[in-house]
Each structure stands twice: as C-alpha cells, then as structure tokens.
C-alpha cells in the first residue's frame, strides 16, 4: 500500500508538470501597433503637399496597375504571357511608381504546407525580382517574402483555383 | 558448440529490431482488458468523456485488445463485474473532486481479481483530464514492460491557418482533445519546441518587414526576437542538447540550410546549391538530412553538419518534399503520381541509412509533416483530407495508425 501511495505522489507530480492550463497567451498586439505607426507619417506628408489624393490611395491605385504573375505546378520559371506582364510591371515601377519600394509576395497552391512550399513561393518572387532587375528596376528597391499556401485568393478545390494561388503579388512600400 | 553459436546468432539476428520491417500482430493474440468506472463525483457526460479518452489511449498502446463497453463497479469490490470475468485484465478507476475543483483519479489494474498495479493521480482542474488518461495508459504500458510511450505525455505545438495571412499557434495533447492558444493575432508559422522539456519554443513571425525567428518561454509568456532573414526563416530542427539549430534562411532570395549556435549566436551556411535547399534535420554521425531540388525535383539528401559533399538518400518517389530523422531512420513525404493533379496522393515512407528497404506508412490522401517522437517509437503527422486536418500517430513497432481530427481550420505545421 505504501508503494501505491508513493507511486501515486510521483504520478501526481508528473501529471502536474504536464499541466498546460497556466500557459499564458503571447500577445502580438505590439506588432500590430507598429504597422499602424508606419502608415501614419505617410498620410501626413501627403497632406503637406496639399494633394487631395493621399499617398496610400495613390499606392493602392498603382498596385492595381501591376499585374500578378502566375506559375505552373511545382515551377518557378516565368513563361508565356507572364513574361510580357513582368515587362509592363517593370515599366510602371520605373515610371509612375518609381518613388516606392516594392515588396514581392510569393504564394503557392494548397499542395503541401512544408518548408519546400514556402521556398517555392520565394523562388517565384526571386524569379520576378530578377526579371524586373533585368528591365532596369533598381535591386535595392525590392524586398521579398513567401507566404506558401497561407494566403490563397481562391479556396475552391479546382485546378483553376489552384492555378490562381500559384502567383507573385506586388505591394508598394513608402 | 559452433552449431550452438550459429543458431544463437541466427536467432538474435532474426529478432534484431528494424523499424523498416513491418510487424503484423494479430489482434486476437493480444491480452484482453475491460474497464470499470467507480467514480463518485462528476456528471454522466464528464464520466463518459473520460472513459472514451481512456479507451482511445489504451487502444493506441497497441498491446491490448480493449473492450469498449462502459461498465460500473464499486472501487473496493472484491470481484470484477460478471461481464468482465473472462478478461485477462480489468482496469478500475475512480474519479473524485478534490479541493479547489481539482480532479483526483485512483486506478487499479486487476488480473484474476488480484491487484497488480495501483496509482493515484491529481490535476488542478478537470479541463486537463486528458493528461491523466494519457498518464494512466503510460503507466499500464510500463507495467506490461513494453517499449516506452513517453511521447503520449508530450505536448504537440502547431500553427493553424484561420484566414489568409492569419494564424494561431496552439499547444495540445497528442489527440487534440485539449487545446490552448498560445500565440494569437498576426501571421506566425513553423512552431518548433526549443528543448526536450518543452519549456520554450521558436516560431517564424511574418508580421515584421523581414521574416523573424521568435523565442517564447512557455511559463512566463516572455518572447524575444532571435534572428531575421530576407525572404525566408524557418527553424527546421533543434539539436538534442538544444544548443544548435538548423535554420532555413534565404539571404538574396536563395533558400539554404544554416546551422546556428544559440550560445555564440554564430551562423554557418551548410548548403550552397543555387536552387531550393530546405528542411535540415540532424541525423547520426554529425550529418544532416535535408530536402533539395538539385536533381530537378525535391528529394532527400545528406551532407556533413559542416557542409561538403552531398549524397542522395532516397531513390523512390516523384517528389519528396519533407523529412524528419531519428538516428538512422528517416521518414519522408513522397508524391506518388507524376501528374500534377491526378489523385495527388502524398504518402509517408520510412527508410534506414543502414539498409535499402523502404516501408510505406500511409495508404491514401495528403499525408505530410512527419515528425518522430524523441525515442523513435512513433511518428506524428498531418493528414489533410478535403477541408479538414487531422493529426495522425503511427506506432512503428506495432504497424498501426490512429487519426485525431481538428474541429476547424487547417494545420500549417507542427512539432512534437
């Protein structure tokens, strides 16, 4: 019986060490605040110029002119009419959008959530970056990120939908 | 004498443990066990919830033929209930509420009406009752003298997609019955336990300008940023002593495997191929396994932990895009169809660096993110079927798979 009680105490300690109810939740709100702070000064500059259109609005309008580049399954080379899209995008970036930085966001379809998929998204962004640089866009303006399969524009289970998710989006940075 | 020794050698070789060989055990030949509830507190729905968790745990042990009928008895009764009299073992337990709503459990294991094992358990509240059930199953397994299932008591950490560019990081038990959101808000992926005690973890934050590796202490909730890289940052593996990390980073848009010393904060590039190199995993003899597309499609390769010549590890599968290692064993995900969209089945396979045999571990669907338990006894993985994610457990030495579905959302990545 003594053994039973002793082992019970040990088991209790073991179970207690496994308790997860006291784990605190990490608050990410400070990160969100940073995003807000970055946007605020931009709007102030636009107001100083007496322009009716804020910088943020102008950037959003220009982003619409930048065509998304699409890719084949498991590939990161730019083919077909995507080549001319990148040329047009480079023209916009060298002219109307020349004052802004460029963020290339690589994305993938849902077939795989592993590191390889994230890397594939990044290589897609890198392929677009190289094409832009060869068209005269300054390399120092360009940053890249990959969201893998975590940023789909379409969530249906169809070939068309998956092909829309294998893409590189353009975002302008102040 | 020679004959005796050669027979002995033959005998020992035939019983040498090789996880790549399938073991098929007949369920009929396993000892049977029935379960009797002798609880005095708690309502019927909680009692049934606990009973079902316990039955599931006993099944996962894979060493017992478990009776699924719910029967009650007095804890001190000298005989098992009549329906259970032909079972090899009877597990009897009593749930009762203690001070401050704590949950207490008394358990005895009976064989021929004689107690062969007795244990008491206590947790601070009934919300975490699954950990008691896992501990009970663990203790029964220990009593039976089977290979350890210490992984049952380990916690799983995973990232769940809840909306485009929004995730939660969640800590759970291995069945997903208990879940606790530990990082909410923002876009955070690839959580990875920072040590074997699971007292801290790393994850990648994509909310900053550059992908950033974060470190969180589980007890205090304190977090700090470790390192950033352009384009990509993932903590792929943590050494057993927790001092070295294998990271995938992409300076100049080029994903490569790096080692990072947690103490000196020094990093070293291990791979230099101009395509994709990711998913570094420590294996034995100071080597790493990793995923590379250097042959034109993703496959598993090995190199020295300090870099150097690269060797192909896997010769089967059209696209092998993730892996996990434990000593000599490597489990990897393989796309079985060469067509981009036909059934698109992804199955897990197990190989050993010391033999040529391959063992297929899953049979259909999209199976990915395999992770070994520290002792190599089990593999945990993600199964995605249509819009639902499940966590799967493969008991390698028992040749059995178990699935535990996630109620909502899709699991992005996971560690054990």
Euclidean distance between CA atoms A77 and A130, whole angstroms: 11
Query: Which tokens is B393 given?
Result: 């457990």
Other Cβ atoms less than 10 A from the Cβ of A78: the count is 18
Q: What percent of chain B has pLDDT over 90?
A: 61
- What are the start-end ranges of the E strands in chain A? 26-27, 69-70, 101-106, 142-146, 167-173
Select the residue of A21, A35, A114 nearest B322 (Cβ to Cβ).
A114
pLDDT for residue B178: 92
Chain B residues in contact with A102 by the CB 8 A cut-off are none
How close is the nearest chain B Cα to the Cα of A127, in Å?
Answer: 9
Q: What is the pLDDT of residues B251-297, one digit of tens each?
A: 888 999 999 999 999 999 999 998 899 999 999 889 999 999 999 88
- 3 state DSSP class of A75: coil
Chain A residues in contact with B181 by the CB 8 A cut-off are 25
| CA closest to B157 among chain A residues | A20
Euclidean distance between CA atoms A69 and B358, whole angstroms: 40
When pLDDT is cut at 50, 70 and 90, the band that residue B20 belongs to is low
Cα torsion through A107, A108, A109, A115, rounded to 10:
-130
Compute the residue count for chain A: 174
Distance of CA B374 to the CA centre of its chain: 9
Q: How far lies A29's CA from each of A32, A34, B169, B181, B412, in Å?
A: 5, 9, 15, 15, 22
Interchain pair B119, A11: CB under 8 A: yes
- 3 state DSSP class of A158: coil
Instruction: Check if the beta carbon of residue B159 is closer than 8 Å to that of residue A115.
Output: no
Chain A residues in contact with B208 by the CB 8 A cut-off are 31
Other Cβ atoms less than 10 A from the Cβ of B265: the count is 9
Domains assigned to chain B: 19-146 (3.40.50.10070), 151-415 (2.120.10.30)
Q: Residue B14: pLDDT above 80?
A: no
Q: How far lies A86's CA from each of A5, A90, A133, A136, B322, in Å?
A: 73, 6, 11, 12, 31
When pLDDT is cut at 50, 70 and 90, the band that residue B340 belongs to is low
Q: Residue B81: pLDDT above 70?
A: yes
Q: Residue B43: pLDDT above 90?
A: yes
pLDDT for residue B80: 92
Q: Quick one: B96 exposed, middle or buried, by C-beta within 10 A (0-12, 13-18, 19+)? A: middle
Q: Quick one: A84 exposed, middle or buried, by C-beta within 10 A (0-12, 13-18, 19+)? A: exposed
| CA closest to B172 among chain A residues | A20
When pLDDT is cut at 50, 70 and 90, the band that residue B41 belongs to is confident
pLDDT for residue A18: 43
A 64-123 residues with CB < 8 A to B: 73-74, 110-120, 122-123
Q: Residue B89: pLDDT above 90?
A: yes
Select the residue of A4, A23, A116 nearest B279 (Cβ to Cβ).
A116
Select the residue of A4, A15, A115 nearest B248 (Cβ to Cβ).
A115
Interchain pair B231, A144: CB under 8 A: yes
DSSP B127: G
When pLDDT is cut at 50, 70 and 90, the band that residue A17 belongs to is very low
Q: What's the CATH number of domain A43-173, 3.10.129.10, 3.40.50.2300, 3.30.1330.60, 3.60.40.10?
A: 3.30.1330.60
- Tokens 């946007």 correspond to A39
Which residues touch A130 (CB under 8 Å, ≥6 apart)? none
The DSSP bridge pattern shows strands B32-37 and B71-72 to be parallel
DSSP A155: -
A50 interfaces chain B, CB cutoff of 8 Å: no
Task: Report chain B's mean pLDDT, rounded to a whole number.
Answer: 88
User: Hey, where are the domains in chain A?
Assistant: 43-173
Distance of CA A126 to the CA centre of its chain: 13
Instruction: Check if the beta carbon of residue B64 is closer than 8 Å to that of residue B27.
Output: no
Q: Quick one: A130 exposed, middle or buried, by C-beta within 10 A (0-12, 13-18, 19+)? A: middle
A 130-169 residues with CB < 8 A to B: 143-153, 157, 159, 162
Interchain pair B123, A19: CB under 8 A: yes
Instruction: Check if the beta carbon of residue B279 is closer than 8 Å to that of residue A116.
Output: yes
Euclidean distance between CA atoms B291 and B323, whole angstroms: 7
Other Cβ atoms less than 10 A from the Cβ of A155: the count is 10
Instruction: Check if the beta carbon of residue A167 is closer than 8 Å to that of residue A70.
Output: yes
Query: Which tokens is B151 given?
Result: 């992984």
Chain A residues in contact with B382 by the CB 8 A cut-off are 113
Q: Which of B187, B134, B256, B151 is nearest to B413 (CA)?
A: B187
How close is the nearest chain A Cα to the Cα of B182, in Å?
Answer: 4
Interchain pair B184, A123: CB under 8 A: no
Chain A residues in contact with B232 by the CB 8 A cut-off are 118-119, 122, 146
Instruction: Check if the beta carbon of residue B321 is closer than 8 Å to that of residue B338.
Output: no
């Amino acid at each position: 019986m003594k053994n039973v009680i002793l082992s019970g105490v040990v088991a209790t300690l073991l179970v207690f060490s496994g308790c997860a109810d006291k784990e605190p939740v990490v608050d990410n709100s400070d990160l969100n605040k940073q995003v807000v702070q970055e946007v605020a000064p931009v709007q102030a500059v636009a107001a100083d110029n007496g322009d009716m259109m804020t910088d943020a609005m102008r950037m959003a309008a220009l982003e619409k002119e930048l065509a998304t580049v699409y890719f084949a399954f498991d590939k990161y080379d730019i083919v077909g009419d995507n080549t001319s899209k990148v040329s047009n995008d480079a023209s916009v970036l060298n002219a109307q959008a020349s004052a802004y930085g460029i963020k290339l966001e690589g994305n993938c379809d849902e077939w795989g959530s592993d590191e390889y998929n994230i890397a594939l998204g990044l290589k897609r962004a890198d392929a677009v970056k190289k094409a832009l640089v060869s068209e005269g866009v300054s390399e120092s303006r360009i940053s890249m990120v990959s969201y893998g399969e975590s940023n789909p524009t379409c969530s249906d289970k169809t070939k068309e939908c998956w092909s829309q998710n294998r893409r590189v989006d353009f975002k302008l940075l102040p | 004498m020679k004959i005796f020794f050669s027979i002995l050698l033959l005998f020992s070789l035939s019983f040498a443990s090789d996880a790549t060989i399938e073991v098929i055990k007949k369920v009929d030949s396993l000892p049977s066990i029935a379960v009797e509830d002798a609880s005095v507190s708690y309502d019927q729905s909680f009692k049934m919830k606990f009973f079902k968790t316990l039955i599931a745990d006993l099944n996962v042990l894979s060493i017992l033929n478990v009776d699924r009928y719910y029967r009650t008895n007095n804890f001190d009764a000298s005989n098992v209930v009549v329906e259970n009299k032909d079972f090899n073992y009877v597990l009897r337990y009593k749930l009762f509420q203690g001070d401050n709503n704590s949950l207490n459990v008394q358990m005895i294991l009976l064989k021929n009406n004689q107690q062969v094992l007795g244990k008491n358990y206590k947790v601070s509240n009934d919300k975490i009752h699954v950990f008691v059930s896992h501990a009970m199953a663990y203790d029964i397994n220990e009593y039976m003298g089977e290979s350890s299932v210490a992984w049952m008591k380990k916690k799983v950490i995973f990232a769940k997609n809840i909306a485009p560019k929004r995730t939660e990081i969640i800590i759970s038990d291995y069945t997903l019955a208990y879940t606790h959101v530990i990082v909410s808000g923002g876009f955070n992926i690839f959580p990875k336990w920072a040590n074997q005690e699971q007292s801290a973890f790393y994850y990648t934050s994509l909310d900053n300008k550059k992908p950033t590796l974060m470190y969180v202490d589980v007890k205090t909730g304190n977090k700090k940023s470790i390192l950033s890289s352009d384009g990509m940052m993932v903590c792929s593996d943590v050494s057993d002593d927790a001092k070295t990390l294998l990271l995938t980073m992409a300076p100049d848009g080029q994903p490569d495997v790096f080692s990072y010393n947690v103490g000196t904060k020094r990093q070293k590039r291990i791979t230099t191929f101009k395509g994709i190199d990711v998913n570094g995993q420590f294996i034995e003899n100071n080597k790493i396994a990793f995923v590379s597309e250097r042959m034109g499609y993703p496959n598993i390769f090995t190199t020295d932990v300090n870099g150097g010549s690269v060797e192909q590890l896997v010769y089967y599968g059209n696209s092998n895009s993730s892996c996990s290692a434990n000593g000599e064993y490597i489990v990897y995900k393989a796309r079985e169809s060469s067509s981009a969209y036909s059934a698109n089945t992804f199955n897990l396979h197990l190989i050993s660096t010391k033999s040529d045999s391959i063992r297929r571990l899953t049979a259909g669907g999209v199976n990915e993110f395999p992770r070994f338990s520290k002792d190599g006894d089990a593999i945990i993985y993600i199964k995605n079927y249509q819009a639902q994610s499940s966590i799967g457990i493969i008991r390698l030495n028992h040749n059995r798979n178990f699935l535990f579905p996630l109620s909502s959302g899709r699991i992005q990545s996971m560690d054990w």
